[in-house]
Chains A and B, each alone.
Chain A
Amino acid sequence: MSARIDLGCSLGEISRLNAWLADRFSEGGVPDKAAGNIKLCLNEAVTNTISYGFPDGGDAEIGVDLDISDDIAVATLVDNGIAFNPLMVPEAAKIESLETAQIGGFGVKLMRELSASIAYEYAGGRNRLTMTFPLA
């Protein structure tokens, strides 16, 4: 099953993405654990794009493709925002104490941990982030 949703550049769109994902997971028979991981990783990636990808406004094009086969799901986020490679963002340092704990930086860490693979490229004025998730 392949499906695509186009999103506007506002954080309210995350709810629409999540409702759409719930329908696709149900159609594709995606196990709960994998569904949770895909949803979380896409929430983190799309939140970053909406929050930081379009500092000057403009016509935002943000699309999520989801391909579900028997044993793997591939989620791809494509947008025409500023070039931004989330894999270059330093991960939040390991939390050692309340005093020194950073408040943010957890999104990229979660995306790396919960996906089986994650790849980024910038071509033709578009960011393309591809994440895979095992379903078996």
Chain B
Amino acid sequence: MNMDRQELEGGICKITLDGSLDIEGASAVEIPFNEISETYKKVIVDMTKVDFLASIGIRVLVKSAKTIGSRGGRLAVFNPNDAARSVLASTGVDSIVFVEDDEAAAINVVS
């Protein structure tokens, strides 16, 4: 799992993930995700290259959404593949994490 971060205009942090959010991938991104969630109020996550999302990855997203939300901010993910989108829906996580089709929509919803 590779994780890249970039600061966009308007104080938005964009995280790009590449790989599997399985137990190994989730352990690799958990600490940087926590740091970003405690620092930024507007966070978007590019899921385009996430080929697998397990419940351990869902935990990372929910924890992050809670941290950002408690500070009055928002977390949005965008362009997850069909399987990841279905995991986000079955767990109900899509009711607390914004799931958007593309980067522009994600930026819009956190701004």
Contacts and interface: CB of A to CB of B under 8 A. Distances in A.
Contact of A39 (B24, B52, B92, B95): B52
A116 interface: no
A26 interface: no
Nearest to B57: A106
Contacts, number: 74
A98 B66 contact: yes
B59 A101 contact: no
Interface stretch (A61-69, A74-82, A89-97): A89-97
B54 A43 contact: yes
Contacts of A36: 52, 83
Interface residues of B, number: 25
Contacts of A97: 96
Interface of A: 11-12, 14-15, 18, 33, 36, 39-40, 43-44, 47, 92, 94-99, 101-104, 106-107, 109-110, 113-114
A94 B91 CA distance: 8
Most buried by B among A11, A44, A103, A109: A103
For chain B, what secondary structure do more than half of its interface residues adopt (helix, strand, loop), or is it mixed?
helix
Nearest to B84: A36
B62 interface: yes
Given A18-B22, A99-B69, 9 more contacts: A12-B24, A15-B24, A36-B52, A40-B83, A43-B22, A95-B92, A98-B69, A101-B96, A109-B90
Interface in B56-93: 56, 58-59, 62-63, 65-66, 69-70, 83, 87, 90-93
